[in-house]
């Protein structure tokens, strides 16, 4: 069951396989669009003069290209290899690989539902692509924040099977945020007060908050979470807990976001 439109849009980056090469250009099948045929004119193969096209492309090669023109009435799609940089190429390849993996995971979901892959993907695929941007992004969210995913799809009969596969197959993406605590207490038992303040920060979420010694009176707070918003919220809670603790004990402190 295709999750993409029937034809790519002009300006879009696509993944394809070179099927044949002529002196005037190369023919390509588009992996994401039901193997539709596209064409790369010799002038769009590389910047500058191309003497031998086979110095740049070969049959069977997987390529990333930019769509120049689309004519559905004639079934024509024109591509360019030269109008794309290395960074764009790498990002597109990774996104394509992610979607290939997502389709394999979708097949596992289908098995759990007792349906064929096409039947299952026809039910949840378009909904998830519309909601999260891609099928792989849906699997990532289901793994990183299953409660949110279930809430957003709570009436769907496939949601539990989808969550099971996501939990077993996807390592949630992690982000890291840092900041520096400066806390001090000059009282006789000030060392104990500082220790208590740092423990208060870690207790906010022991699984994601880490306190690292920099050099008294400075301590680094390192927080990891599935999303930046979640990490920032946890960092603030940990910071607030440490500062409340040290000030309540008669010491002082401040925080600097990295």
Q: What is the pLDDT of residues 170-217, one digit of tens each?
A: 987 778 999 999 999 999 999 999 999 999 999 999 989 999 988 889
How far is it, in rounded angstroms, from Cα 35 to Cα 43? 23
One domain for residues 80 and 91: no
Q: How many structural domains compose the chain?
A: 3
* Residue 250 and residue 191 share a domain: yes
CATH code: domain of residue 137: 1.10.150.190
Q: Does residue 118 fall inside a structural domain?
A: yes
Domain enclosing residue 27, as ranges: 13-84
Residue 9 has a CB neighbour count (10 Å cut-off) of: 9
**pLDDT tens for each residue of 2-50:** 566 789 999 999 999 999 999 999 999 999 998 899 999 999 999 999 9
In a domain, 144, yes or no: yes
On whether residue 198 sits in a domain, the answer given is yes
Q: Is 7 within a domain?
A: no
Q: Does residue 190 form part of some domain?
A: yes
Question: 58-81 in b/e burial notation, b at 16+ Cβ within 10 A?
Answer: eeeeebbbbbbebeeeeeebbbbb
In a domain, 203, yes or no: yes
Its pTM stands at 0.66
**Whether residue 149 sits in one domain with residue 106:** yes
- Residues 19, 22: Cα–Cα separation, whole Å: 10
What's residue 4's pLDDT?
67
Q: How confident is the model at residue 145 (pLDDT cuts 50, 70, 90)?
A: confident
Q: Is position 5 within any domain?
A: no
8 A C-beta contact, residue 240 and residue 247 = no
Contact 105, 139 (CB under 8 A): yes
* Cα-based distances in Å from 53 to 17, 19, 48, 62, 77: 16, 14, 12, 15, 19
Which pLDDT score, from 0 to 100, does residue 1 have? Answer: 47
In a shared domain, residues 111 and 157: yes
Among the candidates 169, 195, 214, a domain finishes at: 169
Return d(Cα 37, Cα 76) in angstroms, integer.
Answer: 8
Share of the chain above pLDDT 70, in %: 98
92-112 residue pLDDT tens? 999 999 999 999 999 999 999
Tell which of 169, 193, 226 closes a domain. Answer: 169
Q: Tell which of 145, 169, 193 closes a domain.
A: 169
């Amino acid at each position: 069951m295709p999750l993409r439109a029937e034809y790519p849009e002009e300006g879009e980056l696509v993944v394809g396989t070179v099927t044949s090469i002529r002196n005037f250009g190369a023919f390509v099948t588009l992996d994401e669009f039901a193997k539709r045929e596209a064409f790369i004119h010799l002038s769009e193969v590389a910047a500058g003069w191309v003497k031998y096209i086979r110095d740049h492309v070969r049959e069977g090669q997987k390529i990333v290209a930019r769509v120049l023109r689309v004519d559905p009435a004639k079934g024509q799609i024109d591509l360019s290899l030269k109008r794309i940089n290395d960074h764009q190429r790498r990002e597109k390849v990774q996104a394509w690989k992610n979607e290939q993996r997502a389709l394999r995971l979708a097949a596992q979901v289908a098995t759990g539902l007792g349906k064929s892959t096409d039947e299952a993907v026809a039910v949840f695929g378009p909904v998830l692509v519309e909601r999260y941007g891609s099928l792989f992004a849906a699997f990532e969210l289901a793994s990183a924040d299953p409660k949110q995913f279930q809430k957003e799809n709570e009436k769907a009969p496939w949601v539990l099977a989808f969550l099971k596969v996501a939990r077993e197959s996807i390592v949630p993406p992690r982000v890291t945020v840092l900041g520096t605590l400066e806390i001090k207490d000059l009282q006789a038992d000030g060392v104990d007060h500082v220790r208590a303040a740092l423990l208060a920060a870690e207790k906010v979420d022991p699984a994601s908050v880490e306190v690292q010694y920099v050099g008294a009176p400075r301590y680094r707070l390192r927080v990891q979470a599935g999303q930046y918003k979640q990490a920032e919220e946890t960092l603030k809670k940990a910071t607030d807990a440490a500062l409340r603790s040290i000030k309540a004990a008669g010491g002082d402190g401040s925080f600097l976001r990295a």
